[in-house]
Structure 1
Amino acid sequence: MPTNILNLPSYRVLQVEDADGDYQIKIETVSPPDRCVYCGSGPLVGFGRREQWIRDLPIHGKRVRIAVDTRRFRCKSCGRTFYEPLPAVDDKRLMTTRLKTWLEKKSLRHPFSQLAEETGVGALTIRKVFDDYAQDLKDSLRFETPEVLGIDEVHLIRRSRAVFTNIPSCFVIEMLPDRNKTTVARYLADLPDKGRIRCVAIDMWRPYQEAVRESLPGVPAVVDKFHVLKMANAALDALRKTVGASLHPEKRRSLMRYRHVLLKRFQDLNELQRKRLDQWGKDFPPLGKAHRAKERFYDIYEAPSRSDAEKRYREWDASLDPEIRTTFGPLLTAFHHWEGPILSYFEHRVTKACTESSNNLIRAVQRMGRGYSFDVLRARILFVRHGAHKMKPFRRPKEKELELGYGLPSTEIEPKEISQGVDDGFHLS
């Protein structure tokens, strides 16, 4: 009799074939039932057989199909017939429970088509396994309301989606189907333990500010400082393009090639870069003036307090040369309309750097699953690492498992934890 290559103690292996690079294994149960599944009595008599094909974990890099010679019985007491139960086989699908568990974990990180190719299970079936698993995680996990909440958006499947992050821990805690004020406000209003929130970091997007004001009264909104500084750099870069448009192509390319000299902080430039910057200031006076204005604007964010930052901004605004004032027009307008949330940074000192990193993670997940629905992508982002719990200690395979080379999933029950969200530093493997 063939060796029990499956390592399923409840079954006896009858035959093993290597068919076109896949294993086809014929098995039967070791202990048939001796009681009726309906009335619980006996005796039972055989009443025929049928062959069922079941998928299992790949072995030696080959897909596995199992033919179970399933016996049918009739109860002498109640007269009803039934097929024998199949241990370690999923109740809903023709696959082993260990394959289903493996697919649940893998489907969070790998394309369904790839898993279908590895296991022989249909991509639609894998999608259904994923949906059930995601629903179980949704029902069992509770994300913790953070002290500092970040709101950003990412363009996903032809629409901007609002993304919420736990900024101190750098975790994604939710992604909504859109970024409309009503949708965002409803989510914020339903947050548990809202009293924990100290502040909310946002972009200069009015619906976010209004949603925070309505759903979290008294909680300050803080405009991310990097978005404000980015506007200063964008103004300087726009002037560079304007100046370059009237130059000889060679000089224009030089301005473009060394644009980083304009955008870096002056103290970070080396001697050669400072000389190049000084020469540009002489050749193109507006560019030199704009660079110095950009540097003074950056100095505002080195202020020790809100009042000092406000004073520095007023002085910067008043000192702008009329020749370059229009260059910084968008920045001046933004500061005028968003002065309160911008200056709130100096009271709370929070940024959305980790939120931006989370958006890169989301885009990576999207690239892995081209064609997937928003619900699938959202579940992947929220529930990767089993709901983004803190990583649990690695369970080393038992010595017997190492000898056999199975490396089967652990059946140990692990305690539940409250999740903070999805760690934006996880690796897609």
Structure 2
Amino acid sequence: MTNILNWHDYKVLQVVELEHDYQVHAEVTEPPTRCPNCNNSEIVGFGRRDEVIMDTPVHGKRTGIILNRRRYRCQSCRKTFLEPVPHKDNKRQMTHRLIQYIERESLRRTFSGVAEDVGVDEKTVRNIFNDYCERMEKTLKFEMPQWLGIDEIQIIKPHCVITNIEQQTIVDMLDNRNKTTVTRYLSKRTDRDQVRYVAMDMWRPYRQAVETVLPDATVIIDKFHVIRIANESLERARKAIRIALTPQQRRGLMRARFLLLKRRHELSDAQYMRFSGWTLNYPEIGQAYELKESFFEIWDCQTRHRAQKAYYAWLRQITPEMKVHFDALIKAMGNWHDDIFAYFDHPITNAYTESLNNLIRVVNRVGRGYSFEALRAKILFTEGFQKIKKPRYQRQRIAEGAIGRIPFYGVAETGSATNYGVDLSTLVQEIQAGRL
């Protein structure tokens, strides 16, 4: 009979093909010769029992090995034992290759789909995948950066993304963005003292976690988050002005949103003429736009002192009518004043993380909705994605007595490889090539 298992240490007795399954009746070809407890060779048979060991699917059908497993008793120590089963996982009633199959398939399919495919419980598939992730995390040591980025991505719910801003890599992805989760992650990192600067958005639990675990690190609010609030303030003003207009006047303001969000120097001549007509007819739009532009100009300042001076001058420009629209921006600047203006002392930004979030959304769409665990593992652990700095080599002199009497010079490694995390440019290439 053909050995459907393709293992020489199994003897296939019978193969039963059902509608959805293969039942492979088999036995081990090489029985034990010694007791595993005392190593005595005097062992005798002591019965048999059937065991079901799940294997990888064959011809699109689930495969179960029904093994007629023998039991033995040692004549010396009188202990009983079962014959060892090759290729079987120690923790589960399945083969090693099925474990590897589940790990591989779980990266691109749902746990329930894989479970139905191989004939095991969904919880078992999830546990195998979690073990795989834990093993990969122990194998891959991502360097904790000096410039740490903390942001979030919305995939059904917000998830925290940890990045290396200087190297433009992903360090980790967390299940949520709660203070407890972020604090726990930072606390577990033994190399967390390397972090000197942390760029983040205005999410208070991030700052609380950093203050708790990294008290010496400088928190810097990403300027693009602040600028985004300014744009949102302008948009609120535009909508409020538009509500009071007639339908004919509203048609005259078509596509105003996209034009108003542009900087003044980005406007073409035609766009500037159109903009001038709006501000002439609706002065409030011009006031809101000027407030947005003058706020943006604060970020062109070269020092913290000048930036703060420009901000206070900007505050004095706000009229009571405009304050209602820009109130959220004013409150944010007051609540996060020191962290926002820390940018001018240490001009680092989390813009890379924002572009990274867009990439992760693309990966999630391509995968038609990965589970978070699968998405995280696919991004962090796929071979070839990591940005690794190889150890240096230096010329090393070997003593004369080691090889005759002639001095010998060789090359030796110094230090160890450094893994900075998952490289953004590599992710871009894989997505564009359709391989992710």
TM-score by length of 1: 0.76
**Residue aligning to 1:406:** none
In structure 2, what is the Cα distance between the partners aligned to 1:92 and 1:337?
53
**Residue aligning to 2:259:** 261
When residues 140 and 290 of structure 1 are mapped into structure 2, their CA distance, relative to the original with a 3 A threshold, is same
> Which structure 1 residue ranges, 5 or more long, are not aligned?
371-376, 394-415
Alignment of 1:297 with 2:295, yes or no, is: yes
**Residue aligning to 1:346:** 344
**Residue aligning to 2:322:** 324
When residues 176 and 92 of structure 1 are mapped into structure 2, their CA distance, relative to the original with a 3 A threshold, is closer
CA-CA distance at 1:266 after TM superposition = 3.4
CA-CA distance at 1:350 after TM superposition = 1.9
Letter of the 2:127 counterpart: K
Alignment of 1:229 with 2:227, yes or no, is: yes
When residues 5 and 231 of structure 1 are mapped into structure 2, their CA distance, relative to the original with a 3 A threshold, is same
Letter of the 1:338 counterpart: W
DSSP 3-state at the match of 1:350:
coil
Alignment of 1:149 with 2:109, yes or no, is: no
Contact 1:388/1:423 (<8 A) preserved = no
Matches within 5 A, 1:165-176: 165-168=163-166, 169-173=168-172, 175=174
CA-CA distance at 1:305 after TM superposition = 3.9
CA-CA distance at 1:80 after TM superposition = 4.2
User: Which structure shows the bigger proportion of residues in strand conformation?
Assistant: 2
DSSP 3-state at the match of 2:336:
helix
In structure 1, what is the Cα distance between the partners aligned to 2:90 and 2:184?
38
CA-CA distance at 1:381 after TM superposition = 6.0
Contact 1:103/1:126 (<8 A) preserved = yes
Q: Deviations over 1:108-158 (max 9, x none)?
A: 553210111222222122123234334444555544321111233567887
**Residue aligning to 2:88:** 89
- Aligned CA RMSD, in angstroms, stands at 3.8
**Residue aligning to 2:278:** 280
In structure 2, what is the Cα distance between the partners aligned to 1:78 and 1:266?
91
CA-CA distance at 1:74 after TM superposition = 4.0
In structure 2, what is the Cα distance between the partners aligned to 1:314 and 1:15?
85
In structure 2, what is the Cα distance between the partners aligned to 1:97 and 1:391?
26
DSSP 3-state at the match of 1:313:
helix
CA-CA distance at 1:177 after TM superposition = 5.7
Matches within 5 A, 1:85-164: 85-137=84-136, 142-153=141-152, 163-164=161-162
When residues 225 and 76 of structure 1 are mapped into structure 2, their CA distance, relative to the original with a 3 A threshold, is same
**Residue aligning to 2:333:** 335
Contact 1:388/1:421 (<8 A) preserved = no
Letter of the 1:19 counterpart: L
Contact 2:201/2:222 (<8 A) preserved = yes
Structure 1, 263-272 or 85-94: larger mean CA deviation: 263-272
Q: Deviations over 1:200-230 (max 9, x none)?
A: 1122244544554454344321111111111
**Larger relative contact order (C-alpha < 8 A, sep ≥ 6)?**
1
In structure 2, what is the Cα distance between the partners aligned to 1:146 and 1:392?
15
Matches within 5 A, 1:340-379: 340-356=338-354, 361=360, 364=364, 368=369, 377=372
Letter of the 1:198 counterpart: R
Q: Deviations over 1:336-372 (max 9, x none)?
A: 34332222223322222343456564894998467xx
Structure 1, 336-345 or 418-427: larger mean CA deviation: 418-427
DSSP 3-state at the match of 1:328:
helix
Select the residue among 208, 213, 216 that pairs with 2:214. Answer: 216
In the alignment of these two chains, the number of paired residues is 397
In structure 1, what is the Cα distance between the partners aligned to 2:239 and 2:333?
24
CA-CA distance at 1:44 after TM superposition = 4.1
CA-CA distance at 1:75 after TM superposition = 3.9
CA-CA distance at 1:184 after TM superposition = 5.0
**Residue aligning to 2:31:** 32
In structure 2, what is the Cα distance between the partners aligned to 1:45 and 1:10?
21
In structure 2, what is the Cα distance between the partners aligned to 1:147 and 1:105?
34
Q: Deviations over 1:403-422 (max 9, x none)?
A: xxxxxxxxxxxxx9765456
Q: Deviations over 1:61-120 (max 9, x none)?
A: 333222223233444444544332110011221211111123234435532101112222
Letter of the 2:50 counterpart: E
CA-CA distance at 1:231 after TM superposition = 1.1
**Residue aligning to 1:41:** 40
Contact 1:172/1:382 (<8 A) preserved = no
In structure 1, what is the Cα distance between the partners aligned to 2:55 and 2:214?
50
**Residue aligning to 2:49:** 50
Matches within 5 A, 1:3-82: 4-82=3-81
> Which structure 2 residue ranges, 5 or more long, are not aligned?
388-415
In structure 1, what is the Cα distance between the partners aligned to 2:66 and 2:292?
72
Contact 2:380/2:421 (<8 A) preserved = no
Contact 2:28/2:85 (<8 A) preserved = yes
In structure 1, what is the Cα distance between the partners aligned to 2:261 and 2:141?
43
In structure 2, what is the Cα distance between the partners aligned to 1:392 and 1:298?
36
When residues 385 and 162 of structure 1 are mapped into structure 2, their CA distance, relative to the original with a 3 A threshold, is closer
**Residue aligning to 2:399:** none
In structure 2, what is the Cα distance between the partners aligned to 1:65 and 1:185?
45
When residues 123 and 195 of structure 1 are mapped into structure 2, their CA distance, relative to the original with a 3 A threshold, is closer
